[in-house]
Amino acid sequence: MSKINILSATDRPGSMALKVSKHVQSKFDEENVETEVISLSDFPIMDVAGGKYGKNIDSVTAFNARVLDCDGLVMVIPEYNGSFPGILKLFIDYLPFPEAFNKLPIAFIGEAAGAFGALRSVEQLQLIANYRNAYLFPERVFMQRIKSIFSEEEGIKDGMTNKLMNSLVRNFTDFTERNKHERERKAGVEA
C-alpha cells in the first residue's frame, strides 16, 4: 500500500490550509491509505537566513526527507497575492536538485478567500512541479470563498466541492499506486 503525504503549503498560524489538510487526511483514512500531514510552519526558515543555497543544512535535509518519504504528495495551497505563499517557493528552492520531485505523483488543492479558489496559485505551482519532472495528477480542487464552504467542524459544506474532493482522494490513491514503482521512496535524499 502507498504512503501519501499531505503538505500544508503555508506557515501562517491558524492556517486554513492546515485545517483542510487534516480534513483531506480523514478522507484518505476512509480509503485506508497511510498518510502524514506536514506543515510548512515546520520548515526551518531561520536556518536558511542569509541564502545558504547548495549548502548542507541538517534541519533542512531532515525536513525535506520527511516530506519526500512518500509515494505520492498532496499539496494544499492558499492564494497569496495571486500566487502561492513565498515559504513554499523557499522550501522548493532548498529541495535536492534535480531528483526531489522526479516521477513523484503530486495532486493539488487550492483554497482562497476569493472566487477563483487559488486557481492561479495552483497553476503557477504546476509549472514548477512540471519543470521538476513530477507526475502531475490531472484532477484538481479549487476551494473558493473558503470560509463559507469549509469549517473544521463541518468539513466541506458545498456538495460539488465535496464530490470533487472525494474523487481526487480516491483517484489519486490509484494514480499513486500505479506510478510508485517508477520511483524509489526518498530518492536521492539522505536524512
Residues at the contact surface with ligand FMN, assessed by CB under 6 A:
10, 12, 15-17, 78-82, 111-114, 146
Give the neighbor-by-neighbor strand order of the sheet with 34-39: 34-39, 3-8, 72-78, 105-111, 135-143
The answer to whether residues 114 and 39 touch, using CB atoms and an 8 Å cutoff, is no
Among residues 77 and 92, whose Cβ is nearest to ligand FMN?
77
Those residues whose C-beta lies under 8 Å from the C-beta of residue 25, and which sit 6 or more positions away, are 6, 35, 37
> Of 109 and 189, which has the nearer Cβ to ligand FMN?
109
Cα 190-8-183 angle, rounded to 5 deg: 40
Shortest spacing between CB 173 and ligand FMN, in angstroms:
24
Shortest Å, Cβ 57 to ligand FMN: 25
Q: Which residues pair with 2 in a beta bridge?
A: none
Q: Is the CB of 40 or the CB of 189 nearer to ligand FMN?
A: 40
Minimum Å gap between C-beta 85 and ligand FMN is 7
Q: Beta-strand (E) ranges in 93-177?
A: 105-111, 135-143, 150-151, 155-156
CB of 87 to ligand FMN, least distance (A): 10
Would you say 71 or 79 has its CB closer to ligand FMN? 79
| Residue nearest ligand FMN by beta-carbon distance | 114
